[in-house]
Amino acid sequence: MTYVLQNLVFPLERDPDLLPLYADPETWSIIDEEPVRVSNVAHLGNILGRTRARIVAGRRVSLGTYFNGFPASYWQHWTAVRQVRLTVQTTGTATVLVYRSNGSGVRQRIDTREVEGESTSSFDLALDQYSDGGWIWFDVVADAEAAVIEGATWTTEQEPPRGGKASLGITTYNKPDYCIGTLTALAESPGALELIDRIFVIDQGDRRVDAEPEYPRVAAALGDTLQIVTQPNLGGSGGFARAMSETLKRPESGFVQLLDDDVRIEPESIRRSIVFGQFASTPTIVGAHMFDLLDRPKLHAWAEVLDEAPFMWRTLYQEKMPHDFSAANLRQTPMLHMRLDSDYNGWWMCLIPVEAIRSTGLPLPAFIKWDDAEYSLRARESGVPTVSMPGVALWHVSWVGKDDSIDWQAYFHARNRIVAALLHSSAPRGGTLLRHSMRLDLKHLMMMQYYPVALRHRALRDILSGPSHMRANLATAMPAARALAAQFPETIIHKDTGVPLRSRKGRQVFTRSRRGVFDSPTGLQLRWFTLSNVIAHWLHAPRPENVAMPEVEFGKGDAHWWRVPIYDSALVSAADGSGKNVYIRDRAKYRRMLLDSLRLHRTLRQRWPELSAQYRDALPELASHEAWKTTFEEAK
């Protein structure tokens, strides 16, 4: 039997920003050590359909792209597949050239075939030289007349270790328009639907998906495959836990594919992730990459890991991310040819085998933040790795216009990170985590951001109360955190009304050259800066004129912790550009919160071994299917 591992695809939308992800221009040149596009012959007019594209006479187009290259190293490392067949259908006179790369991005030609008329070319390829990395792809060069790529597939005759379709679990809160878009794309993608058992839309909002005008049409197209499940807002962890719970009832489902709501999908990616999950040598979590929905060629992370010492997430090669494929495509970026192994994958799109759910359990009742990272750590302890799979991706609303470290989500950032460390850190007393947490408090306090510090302290108190608080406040922690904002005037965003807010000393301008230099204090200078500002905020009340009117103004990108603290007050642009926040030094709050921070972190450090044992003992119940079913029943 022949199994299709990957199909050649072109964009669903007529969007020129998407083309670099699917088809590569003919010529690139290196100028000032950067790849620059010289001739672009892959344009919308030559895309003839989902699997068809015209190659202009005398021109060359490469399919060595993010969505159309074959990630050979991942298939070699994580599966037992060792023989793959590439089949290319063409019309017209052309040359098909097959290439491979190694982990350093060095290109090597594997095979060449001259074709004419209606032609099918097959290339048998061995997956035995890709342990460090590498892709396989093909180029097509048209002769004196235009040629057409009619389609291409990557197949194997090898049987997968496991079968079963996937149930999709889309968790949504008041984003019905995005959900309708996702459902429509699925309804129009029979290749993906063949591998989908059920589509569960876990609707936790009051703007219901099934109340949208387009819903009857898409529901009719999907038929019994679609199922709407409504429940109160239990956050991402509650929505995804419900999708897992519903999937466990489906004997036809071998996987659950988790999807965020504010996304646009590439249906072929869903199909690829399921197939890769079927072929993985052991049950494996298959994660998708995330492109920016508002800047379509920009990839935000290739592989995400957790650093043990501060117990903090980051992306590998963070200094090179996000990567803009319109500026440098796959063939021009050696780093993207390495096999990069992940510790976890975000749940914007993530395939989890049912075996993993049965051995690992469901998510923590964390509401949002860290539920995906903690789950992958827990799954890895039971023998289930996580793979962030190249060529598997979607477009998600990015964090460019957000700053969730200082809004109500600060509570969940702090609590869930420390809980995850209590559960999984092997470092004595969390290593440097608590020192890092204390440092975050100091930065916020010196920047006159008292609200996130209040939330972080609430999180520490809840952690100290024991693991039972997590399920007890699952539905109430978020509204309580948002309600607390009323006590902190700096949380008010002063919208632009035509009468601009002003500061006494005007806006602090940092030129492009200055922005390009990291001017943060380091070493002894850092210690002196921190100590002097900690003392200054303790001793000095703000001058009355700086309370009546902000002393200075900063753009969001310039309002860093080493610039703002030297002033009594500051006007700072909101992350989304919708207005400004006013930060004012409050000596009483600062003193109280600084002492609270010292006491709470000291207590947490002292009690770390005891708390770690409590949370680890409670983990099986916190993440159990039965406990979540009780939560769902009580939330009705």
Gap between the Cα atoms of 444 and 586, Å rounded? 12
> Token pair of 75, please?
């298939």
Which three-class secondary structure state does DSSP give residue 350? strand
Instruction: Report which residue type is found at 9.
Output: V
Instruction: Please confirm, yes or no, whether 372 is among the known catalytic residues.
Output: yes
Instruction: Specify burial of residue 540 (Cβ count, 10 A radius: 0-12, 13-18, 19+).
Output: exposed
132, 57 in Cβ contact below 8 A?
no
Instruction: Report which residue type is found at 483.
Output: A
Closest C-alpha among 237, 242, 243 to residue 198: 243
259, 168 in Cβ contact below 8 A?
yes
Gap between the Cα atoms of 89 and 202, Å rounded? 41
> Token pair of 380, please?
């890895």
Which three-class secondary structure state does DSSP give residue 47? strand
Which three-class secondary structure state does DSSP give residue 529? helix
Closest C-alpha among 67, 82, 73 to residue 6: 67
Gap between the Cα atoms of 440 and 434, Å rounded? 10
Q: What is the largest CA-CA distance in the chain?
A: 84
Out of 372, 407, 462, 586, the active site residue is: 372
Gap between the Cα atoms of 67 and 51, Å rounded? 12
User: What DSSP letter does each residue of 29-81 carry, written as one string?
Assistant: EEETTEEEEEE----GGGB-SSS-EEE-TT-EEE--STTTSB-HHHHHHHB--
User: What DSSP letter does each residue of 147-193 carry, written as one string?
Assistant: EEEEEEEEEE-SPPS---EEEEEEEESS-HHHHHHHHHHHHT-HHHH
Cβ count within 10 A of residue 488: 17
Bond prior to 160 in cis (omega within 30° of 0): no
Catalytic residues: 372
